[in-house]
Structures are given as structure tokens and as C-alpha cells.
Structure 1
Amino acid sequence: MVSLSVSNKTATTAAGPRPVNLRTDLAPLADLIEVAFHDSMDSGGRAAVRELRALSRIGPGLNVLAGVNELTQGISLGYVWEQDGKIVGNVSVYPANWPASLGNAWIIANVAVHPDYRGQGIARRLMEACLNMIRERGGTTAVLQVDRENSIARRLYQRLGMTTERTWTHWRRSPSGRIPPPAPNGNVHITRRRRGDWRAEYALAEIVRPAHQGGVGWMRPLHPGLFRTSLISLISDWMSLRSFERLAIYDEAERRIDASLWIESAFAASSVQLTLMVHPDYQGLYDEALINLAVRRYGARQPLTIEHPEDEMATGALLQQYGFRPVRTLVHMRWSATP
């Protein structure tokens, strides 16, 4: 996640950014991230900090691990800012590994500056080093997330050429014995999406989750591969005890899908993840039918989570009505390399 504060003051005693040294930097990086993101760190962030500290004790084998561990890979390609004998700034970057047709995309994360060193231009210099590295490696695109309220960081990224794709709210519903009655729109027919109808669902996504707005959500750019179910993915889900159900509301006369709900769960997962898409003509109707179904099926015993566009306000109101609470609202931003 991105958390920083900058001003027009300049750094006074910094030699500039340098690449991360995995053998010496992991423990101080864990300390920095913990301090910089203290107010916004969730359970996943705390787990990442613990993993960094554990990795810092591995020793010589760490460079080998960097090739297969996503956390160390992102850190190993990033930069730190060392000043007064300690690491006070960091930015992580790693390949997005998107389909080749979407270009050479990269993810920027953990833009962090120690509170005592903010306002000195450190974040800007780290970001510039990061973007230059992406260019040198043939990158065409970089994406990041930033808290909606962090206007200072957003302005910095805009000055560096990044544009806003879309703003997303992360919602969570805790298990509750208060299960709602069936939705009042009883004539709505919900069924499993037929495997061969992925193009109809993709057409719906092109309307409500277009590519220029970042697609279906964070790290889910619009691409046919998200909608097709391959044999390899079925085997992978089976081996990892993962379930991925696709529900749909059809307009059979027009042979189209007007709403869909993805329900993803896994053995020992902390929550059931939902993904909801509804045609604008049916928002407030079909979204309630699908949310109602998910809450009635899972809401008594498992937490439910969903990442949903902030601009779809009717759906947001329904999520609140069904017991979901906003956790964070993040702005997704994109940078495109210029020739």
C-alpha cells in the first residue's frame, strides 16, 4: 500500500536511492514498513512484516529464494533511501505477469518514508528511480494503489505522469446469525453461468469493468482469460481445495448476461471473496438478488469480502444494507511509458 507525505523542501544529506540488498536490508525494511503504515496496516500487511523478518535470518540462500518468493522478488527489484546511517525510504516493484497481449506491466508497492524524514522529496526520488528501472527493462505500464484520502501522494503520482483508473472500496461482512429473508424480487432467476457463455459475461464486463478503468479489480485487468475456465485451472482448484463458482442472471431472449457473481473460497481461507458485475439498467435490482443469495448461503458462518467500484453507489448502499462495512477505499493509478 502507498503511504507518504511530501512537500517542496529538498533532502539535505541523502546520497540518493540505491537498489535493495537482500542480505542486509530486510530487517530494517520490516521496521520501516511497520512504522510508515502503522495507521493503515491490515492483517496481510502484518503477516508480510513477519515474513520479512523471518527471511532476514535465512542468510546466503536468500538470493535463490528471491526468484520464487513474490515478496522478496518485489523487494529485490526495489530501492531504498539510506540517510543518517539507517534506511528511511523504500519502494518495491515487481512484474505483474499479465498476459503478453496486455504489455509488459509492473506493480509498484510499499512506497514508504519514515515519518521523521517526510517532506524532503525522498518519495519522489524513489519513484523516479523505480520508473526509470521499469523503462530500462522494457516496461510499458505500471500500476499502484493509494488511499483515497492521501491527496499528497496522489498529486505526486500525477506529477510523475500517472492517471487515475478507478476508485474501489473494500467491503467486509462478519458472520452473523441475522440472515435476511429472500430478496423481494422473487422473479429474478439466478443460475450457474454456462461454461460456453464466457463471451456473454465478458461483454458485460466490457460495459461495467472496461479496460481503461482497470478491469475487474486490483490485479485483474480485463482479459478473456478471466472468464474462461480451462482444464488446468480446474485441476489447480481441485488440488488446492479451492472453489470458484460463477452465477449469472440471463436475458435469454437477447442471449446476454445482465449480472454475474463470482464466489471464491478455499480451504482455511479467512473469507469468501465475491466479485459482482451488474448492467447499469439493472443496478439496484439484480445486485440485491445476488448479494442476498451470497449472504443467505454463507453469511451465518463465514466472513464475506468484496472489492467494488465506489462510483456504483446503488450497489454500495445495498452492501451496507446487508451488513457489509467499508474497510478501505483505494485509488488505482496507472503509468504508461512514453517512447
Structure 2
Amino acid sequence: EVYFGKYGYKLNINSEKDIDRVTIRERLEAIIVKKGEDMDYVEGKVVDFDYKTYPVKWFIKTWGADKKYRIGYFFWLIPSRLHLFGVENYDNNEYVRLYIMGADKYGRDLWSRIVFASRISLSIGLIGMAITFALALVFGGISGFYGGFVDEVMMRIAEIIMSIPNFYLLILLRSLLPLDIPSTQIYILLVFILSFIGWAGRSRVIRGMVLSIKQKEFVEAAIAIGLPNRKVLFKHVLPNTMSYLIVAATLAIPGYILGEASLSYLGLGIREPDASWGLMLAQAQDVTIMTKSPWLLIPGIFIFITVLAFNFVGDALRDALDPRSLG
């Protein structure tokens, strides 16, 4: 047993191979594995070893038994072990891993989990947005086009949903469902919950646009020649709301990403061992952990950049598609 006073942990040393994994100091230009210097004698024999330096280089070939992090197939045709960058191994019998953003408290590569978590965080935003605007388009279109009693009933339903604060409604809907369900089912439920709370406000905007569009001459002409109301609505009226939908949908995606991140951060969303940005950020709740491992806040930076990027794209589309913004 060897005690490492500088690093604050004990390790049972059964072989030289165990000592090889003890201390890894990461640097940008190289990984240096140092053994022996920081060891305090407790019981048994302590063996001193020399330095081993593994340079970080571009286009590294992986050898040995590692399969998980290799590229896979180059253009899906030619088998390849080539990495964009990595640690060059002088001894093909051992493999040194490079964690460019560090590791979480379980020793998992943070960068790999951020990449995999983006699939959940981004897809929930995109799918939730698509469902929301499909509901809003149909609901608001029917309400505005037919008017009368149908309009009154549909808009009162939308106003009831809008009167409840979105975040509290989000937590309420999630708390009504079992907490021990698999992550796949949680993913589907999150998509539908986020879609449910977002369609009401958009449907009122689309209703107002439909009320204006149906007074246009081309719509009155379509009705005059005997086209069915359903065809007039879906072929002539709703397509004229697309400029608003494109801009609003782009600006709405960050809200869904933040909604999923909030639920996962509170423990009501995606569960381990699956990953989402909110779930990864939940590991940095403790001030002590943030002080010792500040890199655990990196998922929050990705959330910030993604939300900002979608907002910039939405503003650019609004300036390009809004007729009032054109000279």
C-alpha cells in the first residue's frame, strides 16, 4: 500500500502496471506520467521509476485493444484507426488516454459526454419546436379562419394554458409521471411536455395573422370560385404565415433546450448513465466541487453558446424575412 500525500489518496500496489496508472499530469504539449517521487513509505517496498513522456500530436493511429474512441470507418468504406489528435504511444502494449476537458467525478471523459449529451439537448429542442408549431399552426388557423363559437372555445382553452406559469406547469406535468421510468421514456415525455406548454401563445399569434389574411382579395376569390374551406385554409392562408413561423421557431428552440436543462438539473429529466447538458451541469451544484473542479461548468458554457447562437440566427432571419425591415 502506498500513500500519496500530495494527492490525498491511497492505492494498493500489486504490480508495476498498477503504479503506471497512479499519477498523470496533463499538459497541452505532452502527458507526463511520473512515478515514485511523491510516494511516502507506509509499508512494503516503494519502487522508483523514470519519466515517461507521451507527446500529443495530430493524426494519431491507435494501437492495442482500444476500440471505443477510434474513428471507425473512413468514408464508411475503409477501416481506420486514425484520430484527429491524440497521444502517441511508444509502447504499443499500453494506451494513454487524453481528456482534453478533464473528467467528471466518476472519471469519465467530459468532452465525450458533452458531445453525446448534445444529441439529447439539441434534439429535444428541435423536435419539441416542430410539434409545438404544428399544433399552434392547426389550432390557431382553424380558430381564426372559422371564427364564431369555434374561435371562442379554442381561444379560451389557449388562455387557460397561458395563465399558468410555464416553469411551474413544466414541473407539475413531470411530477405527475413516475420518477423511475427509463431514460428513453423520459426523453419522449420531455418532448411532449415541452411541446404542450409552448403552443398556446403561438396559436394566438397565428390566429391574429389568419384573421388578417382571410380578408385579402386572393382568399375571397378562392372562396368565390367554390374551393372548400379546408383547401383555402391549408393551401392559401396558412402558407402566408410561414415567415413568422420560421423566425419564431428559431427563437423558440433555446427555450426548449433550457427547459430540458432545468428539469435535468433538478433531477426530473434525463437520468444517469445517459447524459444531457443539464444533467452534467448538476454535478457542479456544490461550491466545493466547483472550487476543486471548475471544468465541470463547461456544459453550462455550451448551453450559453447554443442559446446565443439560435437567438442570433433568429434575429438575422427576422431582419431578412420581415417586410417592415426592408428599406
Q: Which has the larger radius of gyration?
A: 2
Same fold (TM over 0.5): no
User: In proportion to residue count, which structure has more helix?
Assistant: 2
User: In proportion to residue count, which structure has more strand?
Assistant: 1
Report the TM-score, using the length of structure 2 for normalisation: 0.24
